[in-house]
Amino acid sequence: MENIKAADQFLNALGSELKGLLGDHGVESIISGKDETRRLLESILSTIDAVNAYKSIRRVDEVPQIVETTEPVAPQVKEPLVDSEWKECTFNRKIHGGSVDFGSDLSRFIPETVVNRFDLQHGARILAKMDNTGYVTIKEVIEHGNDNDSSIRHVAGVLLKDSGEWCVAPLHDKESIYNVHPKDVDSRNDLVEGAPCVYNIDLKRPNDDVRIARILEHSSAAQETAVTSAPPATKEKASAEEKTDKPKPFPFLKGCTVVVLGGQKKWFETAVAPTGANFVHENGKTPDRVIPELKKAQALCILETATSHHAYFDCKETAKKYGVPMFKIQGSKKSLARVLEENSKTINAANRK
């Protein structure tokens, strides 16, 4: 632009100079054909033409280039389906964690830690909701399920290393070894060789890697693993074992004290009475009431879904200190009766000082 202005100024000055040179006599000189004046005029006109040509070229060069730009359009994100209200759902057990079925083909995965926290088993009815990120919140367990209705079994075992690979061996058969799933090896930092654990196995895929459900403390391994059992090889074998089991003679826990933590007394009282054991119940909120009895007891049965955090840990620490075996139960008479019957030997031998 500066060059164009300079050219305009030059032309204006040249025009003024030309006017001064010509005057009235200049016109007469041109008409009469005097060579000197004519050559001067032709030179000036040629210069003007050259300057105008230069200006036209510069104007073309300096025209701003218009570049069309298109603003990027953000992709539309489809909002996921949301169940923002509490809804009765069904829990389905997987080899690790499980899924919560909200109906209408909408289900979401929950991890093993949540399954353990609520003691969920296959087919349980729960009250849950889901936010717009897919995160599931469980409020309560409405009806307990049974993992025996699925192909998943929970087995007490011990962690081993075989040729540098993490494995587990069931407590009842240490000759059998199962590989631990790589996801557990990568994500867990509590794998210790020789540590007792509970692992999950899928009977439909017995050769697949197993998943670690939880690592147990050495001091409480015997108590915790009392409620786990090895998976039956086949359904037929399991059915045959059930048929050959002989009923326990009643009362088979005479002289024992059974403490039940959580739930309502009327749910469990009739399950303990036929065993001959002394029944002590606490609703899961005020553990101080049963601590004196727990110190002398032979069994602590905990309904985790109806027990406060404070009560759970106070009673658990007392039970560990006095060698009282602990068992997780469901909210039914049948569940407690089965636990007492299956673990009668452990209960009868416990805390006899």
Same-domain check for residues 275 and 323: yes
Same-domain check for residues 260 and 342: yes
Same-domain check for residues 11 and 51: yes
pLDDT at 325: 94
In a domain, 76, yes or no: no
> Chain-wide mean pLDDT for the chain?
78
In a domain, 325, yes or no: yes
Same-domain check for residues 258 and 167: no
Same-domain check for residues 99 and 144: yes
Contacts for 96-104 with beta carbons within 8 Å, 24 or more apart?
96/181, 96/183, 96/200, 96/211, 98/122, 100/126, 100/128, 100/130, 100/136, 100/138, 102/128, 102/130
- Would the pLDDT of 64 be above 70? no
Q: Assign 230 a pLDDT band (cuts: 50, 70, 90).
A: very low
Q: Report the number of distinct structural domains present in the chain.
A: 4
Same-domain check for residues 198 and 172: yes
pLDDT at 231: 47
Same-domain check for residues 160 and 138: no
Domain boundary among 148, 164, 197: 148
User: Which has the minimum average pLDDT: 83-92, 168-177, 289-298, 310-319?
Assistant: 168-177
- Would the pLDDT of 166 be above 70? yes
The CB density around residue 309, as the number of other CB atoms within 10 Å, is 7
In a domain, 324, yes or no: yes
Same-domain check for residues 322 and 256: yes
69-73, 199-203, 204-208, 244-248: range with highest mean pLDDT: 199-203
Same-domain check for residues 19 and 111: no
Domain boundary among 125, 148, 171: 148
Strand ranges for the chain from DSSP E = 83-93, 98-103, 106-110, 125-130, 136-143, 152-162, 165-170, 178-179, 196-202, 211-215, 257-261, 278-282, 299-302, 326-328
Same-domain check for residues 162 and 88: no
In tens, the pLDDT along 28-58 reads: 555 455 566 667 667 767 776 766 766 666 5
d(CA 130, CA 306) in angstroms, rounded, equals: 22
CATH number at residue 168: 2.40.50.140
In tens, the pLDDT along 241-257 reads: 444 444 555 689 999 99
Return the residue matching tokens 């452990």: 346
Domain boundary among 148, 165, 180: 148
The CB density around residue 284, as the number of other CB atoms within 10 Å, is 21
DSSP three-state, residue 14? helix
CATH number at residue 310: 3.40.50.10700
In a domain, 67, yes or no: no
In a domain, 192, yes or no: yes
The CB density around residue 13, as the number of other CB atoms within 10 Å, is 10
In a domain, 74, yes or no: no
In a domain, 215, yes or no: yes
In a domain, 299, yes or no: yes
Same-domain check for residues 56 and 132: no
Task: Note down the domain range covering 182.
Answer: 153-237
Same-domain check for residues 255 and 333: yes
Whether the predicted model's global pTM rises above the 0.75 cut: no
In tens, the pLDDT along 107-141 reads: 999 999 899 888 899 999 999 999 888 899 998 88
